[in-house]
Chain A
């Protein structure tokens, strides 16, 4: 059943492409037949017995049975559990409104910070950057962010962003940067030591030793989106040699 999806791994798919699963006509009486399961990630939808593609992109697979379409979109759609960089836009009563780049502003409770109590409010101002995680994100409800994990620890989340630079890239590049053992990040580490915050909503924040180096890092990351590994290495080498 999975074979027709397996054949297409790495292929470019377009909306409307259909995967039909051929059911085995004969039922074996000796073997206990087990239904094969596949998990459809973003870009794949189930329609009756078929799986239909609804986004253009490359089909990816993760062992054992997870499939999704990897597309290069720019607009973020909130997903539960994802970590994003948000900008505080308003303070109203006990919630902050946060711009995350989606279709709606997300809400962030003042109690959802580490060590915050009703008496001890966190110091968050309008315009601050927060690294937060989605607690609620679905199409029918207002998205809600938190800056703590389930045990009440910050764990890297919270207000940040003094002296750095925030810029936007495509969601595809962000996912590539977050992949474990990513080559772009490795190449960058060798070039300059820098701090990098990567939000799943396509926002990147970088800080290096000097303003000039921060700008170089930002430009390198922006340009590495449409480069092959070879092209990127030559560019990084040129920067390392000091001739831009």
Chain B
């Protein structure tokens, strides 16, 4: 029933810029669960997230919004109960999704996104965002643009590492995650931790925008592979 497609890509380039964008190996699979309306799994190196999307479905009267759809994001941890950290990540993902979805086309309905952590090896929030975007595309929800997540870590020596692993995150001075939209490459959401200068923030945004091009290209390739049988 579900199409099992696995696409992987190595992103490494310097492109003549004075910074180089190195992302880990990416993998994505769409439509892998049979029950939800849209599902995806997204893998960034060893970080892996499974997303399931339900909707537009019936909504509880208490949560009904008369002019747009109610979006609910739930993050399921690998072990234990969700804590404050997960709540914060849920909010970041929800607000990014609300900005890109055309939820006014489905008023008085509910959209539910479940994100299950399979393994955390750094850049988890960006992996959540990428998995969410692929699940929305799989569910066929109307969106004004795509979005992707990019995590940058600033090391002690000031070097910027994109898509860091858990050890790189631990050793870093600051950790910044941005959601970038596909039409204008603008920042939709930012979540930061640690101390950094204004210049470093600007640099990280520029690097993220550069990295987002690669991620959107990867999105396109994996969707193309998914539709290759019905062309």
| A contact residues vs B (CB 8 Å cutoff) | 10, 12, 14-16, 18, 43, 45, 52, 54-58, 70-75, 77, 102-105, 139-140, 172, 176, 222-223, 225-228
Nearest CB in chain B: distance from A164 CB, A: 20
Q: Which residues of B, 98-124, contact A by the 8 Å Cβ criterion?
A: 102, 105-110
Nearest CB in chain B: distance from A47 CB, A: 9
What are 12 A-B residue pairs whose CB atoms fall within 8 Å in the complex? A12-B223, A12-B231, A14-B219, A58-B231, A72-B227, A73-B138, A77-B56, A103-B57, A105-B58, A139-B106, A226-B229, A227-B229
Given contacts A10-B231, A16-B146, A139-B107, contact A103 B1 (CB under 8 A): no
Give bound CA distance, A123 to B142, whole Å: 40
Nearest CB in chain A: distance from B70 CB, A: 11
A56–B183 CB distance below 8 A: no
| B contact residues vs A (CB 8 Å cutoff) | 1-3, 31, 36-38, 55-59, 102, 105-110, 137-146, 181-183, 219-220, 223-224, 226-227, 229-231
Given contacts A12-B220, A14-B137, A57-B140, contact A75 B227 (CB under 8 A): no
A77–B146 CB distance below 8 A: no
Name A74's closest neighbour in chain B (CB-CB).
B37
Q: Which residues of A contact B57 (CB under 8 A)?
A: 75, 103
Q: Which residues of B contact A12 (CB under 8 A)?
A: 220, 223-224, 227, 231
A70–B230 CB distance below 8 A: yes
A103–B108 CB distance below 8 A: yes
B140–A58 CB distance below 8 A: no
A223–B219 CB distance below 8 A: no
Q: Which residues of B contact A104 (CB under 8 A)?
A: 58, 108-109
B146–A14 CB distance below 8 A: yes
Interface centre among A43, A58, A71, A103 (most CB of B within 10 A): A103
Given contacts A55-B140, A77-B56, contact A14 B223 (CB under 8 A): yes
Q: Which residues of B contact A55 (CB under 8 A)?
A: 137, 140-143
A228–B223 CB distance below 8 A: no
Name A70's closest neighbour in chain B (CB-CB).
B230
B144–A75 CB distance below 8 A: no
Cβ-closest 7 pairs across A and B: A73-B140, A16-B145, A103-B109, A15-B143, A75-B37, A54-B142, A103-B56
Q: Which residues of A contact B138 (CB under 8 A)?
A: 56, 73
Give bound CA distance, A43 to B137, whole Å: 11
Name B216's closest neighbour in chain A (CB-CB).
A14
Give bound CA distance, A77 to B57, whole Å: 10
Name A226's closest neighbour in chain B (CB-CB).
B3
Q: Which residues of B contact A10 (CB under 8 A)?
A: 231
A75–B107 CB distance below 8 A: no
Nearest CB in chain B: distance from A209 CB, A: 26
Name A69's closest neighbour in chain B (CB-CB).
B140
Interface centre among A56, A57, A225 (most CB of B within 10 A): A56
Interface centre among B3, B106, B138, B142 (most CB of A within 10 A): B142
Give bound CA distance, A176 to B231, whole Å: 12
Name B55's closest neighbour in chain A (CB-CB).
A75
B144–A16 CB distance below 8 A: yes
B1–A75 CB distance below 8 A: no
Nearest CB in chain B: distance from A75 CB, A: 4
Give bound CA distance, A105 to B182, whole Å: 36
B227–A225 CB distance below 8 A: no
